[in-house]
């Protein structure tokens, strides 16, 4: 009698999991059928040359840091 109760209790759980899995599959298929969005050709991580020059440390700082690294090597 106990086995029947365990099986009866697991059936609703398994059916709920099966229904959710079926919904996920249907949603996944429907997303593949949607038209793709047009991509923006501008890259977000590319900055202007002026901003690149402003972000660089001064040359004397780079030389000093390089000299310091070579001394400790």
pLDDT in tens, 33-57: 887 777 666 666 665 665 555 556 5
**pLDDT bracket for residue 17 (50, 70, 90):** very high
Within 13 Å and on the Cβ side, how many CA atoms surround 13? 5
Tell me the helix, strand and coil percentages in the chain, rounded to 5. 75, 0, 25
How far apart (Å, rounded) are the C-alpha atoms in residues 1 and 56? 78
Please count the helices (runs of H) and the strands (runs of E) in the chain.
3, 0
* pTM of this structure: 0.42
Residues 6+ positions from 55 with CB-CB distance below 8 Å: 47
């Amino acid at each position: 009698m106990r086995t029947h109760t365990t099986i009866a209790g697991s059936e609703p759980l398994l059916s709920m999991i099966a229904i959710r899995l079926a919904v996920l599959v249907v949603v996944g298929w429907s997303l593949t059928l949607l038209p793709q969005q047009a991509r923006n050709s501008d890259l977000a991580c590319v900055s202007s040359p002026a901003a690149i020059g402003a972000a660089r440390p001064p040359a004397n700082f780079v030389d000093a840091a390089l000299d310091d690294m070579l001394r400790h090597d």
